[in-house]
Amino acid sequence: MSRVLVVDDEPTLVRALAINLRARGWEVVSAHDGRSALEMAAGKHPDVVVLDLGLPDLDGVEVILRGWTRVPIIVLSARQDSDDKVEALDAGADDYVTKPFGMDELLARLRAAIRRVAPSEDEAVIIAGDLSIDLARKKVSRAGTDVRLTPTEWQLLEVLVKARGRLVGRKQLLHEVWGPAYNSETNYLRVYTAQLRRKLEADPSHPRHVVTEPGMGYRFEV
């Protein structure tokens, strides 16, 4: 079951969307303003976000620009001017649907947005030495034995593995794992990367896979 976060200040629209989406097997969470949306996104980890631009506290484009997640964002707005569409897409939105809209069209766009970020069959299972990391099933094994990770440990590992071979900055990690309110709590990263190394590395004091780039961030090496 995919989870969608609906961000709109029109209760009638949110209720109608929730009824239609749940009837089609989606899990729905909602927020009525930009700040609540950021909190819900951090706490509920949706698979896709449907975002209205006309929010009471923040403009929807501001919410997109915060760069708090790589979750796909579909703008759902009454603004039909091409400049508004260009601004939202340039800010990082993945798609733009104007009101009024057809439910079937919105569902198709939601499915397409999730497909674009889902791991392909070729990359669903990452092999790194004696580690096997199954991104689709959210499972890790080491030398054939299952490794049990906490939800936070998994989220941290998932972000690093999806960017394997590339540096992921500390601030980006904090935003993606703990939420947009976290900017300087680097002690969280030290604690959780140490836990990951104890579970995943043959020699945690000399890690091969979960690598620290001092003063910058972390990198996962296969």
Domain-wise residue ranges, the chain = 3-117, 149-220
The CATH number of 3-117 is 3.40.50.2300
Taking the whole predicted model, whether its pTM rises above 0.75 is answered as no
Q: What is the DSSP string of the chain?
A: --EEEEE-S-HHHHHHHHHHHHHTT-EEEEESSHHHHHHHHHHH--SEEEE-SB-SSSBHHHHHHT----S-EEEEES---HHHHHHHHHHT-SEEEESS--HHHHHHHHHHHHHHHSPPTTTSEEEETTEEEETTTTEEEETTEEE---HHHHHHHHHHHHTTTS-EEHHHHHHHHH-TT-SS-HHHHHHHHHHHHHHH-SSTTS-SSEEEETTTEEEE--
The CATH number of 149-220 is 1.10.10.10
| Tens digit of each residue's pLDDT, the chain (222 residues) | 789 999 999 999 999 999 999 999 999 999 999 888 888 887 788 889 999 988 888 887 877 755 556 688 899 888 888 888 888 887 778 888 888 888 988 998 898 888 776 655 556 788 999 999 998 788 999 999 999 999 899 999 998 998 888 888 888 888 888 877 788 899 999 999 999 999 999 999 999 999 998 888 899 998
